[in-house]
Amino acid sequence: MKTIFISAGQPLARLGSLVKLLCAAALLAGAASTALASDPNGIYAFVDRVVFEPNDTHPERIQVWGGFALAVSKSRHEYSDAERGCLYFKLRAGDEEICKKEWADLKAVAGTGQIVSFGSRYEKAPPTFRKAGAKIENPDVYPKGWGMSKVRPRDYAPVNQLIKLQGKKAETK
């Protein structure tokens, strides 16, 4: 067999090993970046109930009761420990109809145990979590995101914590 040399003086036969090494390095780099990818969702939750204010037909504010894992603002993939309580929102100016549609989606999953995600971790002001028994006042602006999404069970810390929290007895609502 005749060996062909390339301009650097290396046999072309060794080039195959270099290509394999580069492919393996690229594959490892891709896997590492996937494992640490950011999660854009601001809130993971299960919804026990919602309360529209002043009424169901013309809501201006919403109380969302259930379990919540909120995005940690200084991180691209961390969430607070899941807790039961309430998030209190008002309509986002200019997006009232979108808010009302998402609020209807939240009401539709209330009491079903379905875990959902909504909002964005990139909001300037994260929502205020209120523990059961806290005074419900000063609503946050409803977070803009990608709509409410149903989340299937998977091995992911905020989802696992919410599933575990669902098994615990609810405190006074």
pLDDT tens by residue, 34-89? 344 678 899 999 999 999 999 999 999 999 999 999 999 777 889 999 999 999 99
Distance of CA 79 to the CA centre of its chain: 8
Is 34 in contact with 113 (CB distance < 8 Å)? no
Q: Give exposure, 134-167, as e/b (b: 16+ Cβ within 10 Å).
A: eeeeebbbbbbbeebeebeeeeeebbebbeebbe
The Cα 141–Cα 147 span in angstroms is 15
The Cα 72–Cα 65 span in angstroms is 20
Question: 43 forms bridges with which residues in the sheet?
Answer: 70, 118
pLDDT confidence band for 31 (50 / 70 / 90): very low
pLDDT at 172 over 50: no
The Cα 144–Cα 35 span in angstroms is 26
| pLDDT above 70: percentage of residues in the chain | 76
Mean per-residue pLDDT, 115-131: 92
The Cα 66–Cα 50 span in angstroms is 9
More confident residue, 21 or 135: 135
